[in-house]
């Protein structure tokens, strides 16, 4: 097996992980809530008064982050090595998994593990294991 070093980005990954950890820590300290994106977006679908404002602000901030980064650092060309059908099916499966798992990767993997939640440990092991299996099957058995 040959390693594609273009996908090896330890410093960018470390910086992203640190930023996500800091954001999750600040969010729970400031609001007493877990920074789980599926729960935050789900709350937008059933708004309750003042709850709506911070949820929409957070989602708009997430959506604005990439274009703002592009303005500061210049355009970044991202490549997705899958067709639209694969991307759509994968997105739907992630959404269904987040719903049935009572949370998404950010909620369980970052915040849940940090709070030593056994349920989040099981959920994180399940979605990481499934991801590893899908990549291995698609790259080594099918591709």
Q: Are 80 and 87 in contact (CB under 8 A)?
A: yes
Question: Residues 81-90, buried b or exposed e (16+ Cβ, 10 A)?
Answer: eeeeeeeeee
The reported pLDDT for the residue numbered 129 is 93
For 4-63, write each residue's pLDDT tens digit: 666 778 888 899 889 988 988 898 898 888 888 888 888 888 877 778 888 999 999 999
For 119-142, write each residue's pLDDT tens digit: 999 999 998 998 899 888 988 888
Residue 69 has pLDDT above 90, yes or no: no
Residue 106 has pLDDT above 80, yes or no: no
Average pLDDT of the chain to the nearest whole number = 85
Query: For residue 23, what are its two tokens?
Result: 């954001």
The reported pLDDT for the residue numbered 3 is 58
CA 47 distance to own-chain centroid: 22
Residue spans of the domains in the chain: they are 5-141
The reported pLDDT for the residue numbered 60 is 95
The interaxial angle of helices 37-45 and 84-100, nearest 10 deg, is 90
CA 44 distance to own-chain centroid: 18
Q: What is the mean pLDDT of residues 59-72?
A: 91
The reported pLDDT for the residue numbered 63 is 93
The reported pLDDT for the residue numbered 49 is 76
The reported pLDDT for the residue numbered 20 is 87
């Amino acid at each position: 097996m040959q390693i594609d070093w273009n996908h090896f980005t330890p410093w960018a990954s470390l910086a992203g992980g640190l930023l996500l950890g800091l954001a999750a820590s600040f969010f729970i300290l400031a609001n007493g809530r877990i920074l789980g994106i599926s729960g935050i977006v789900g709350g937008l679908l059933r708004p309750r008064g003042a709850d709506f404002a911070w949820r929409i602000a957070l989602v708009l901030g997430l959506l604005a982050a990439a274009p703002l980064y592009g303005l500061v650092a210049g355009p970044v060309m991202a490549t997705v090595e899958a067709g639209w059908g694969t991307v759509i099916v994968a997105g739907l499966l992630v959404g269904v998994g987040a719903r049935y798992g009572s949370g998404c990767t950010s909620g369980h993997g970052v915040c849940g593990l940090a709070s030593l939640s056994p349920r989040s440990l099981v959920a994180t092991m399940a979605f990481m294991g499934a991801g590893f299996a899908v990549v291995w099957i698609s790259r080594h058995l099918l591709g």
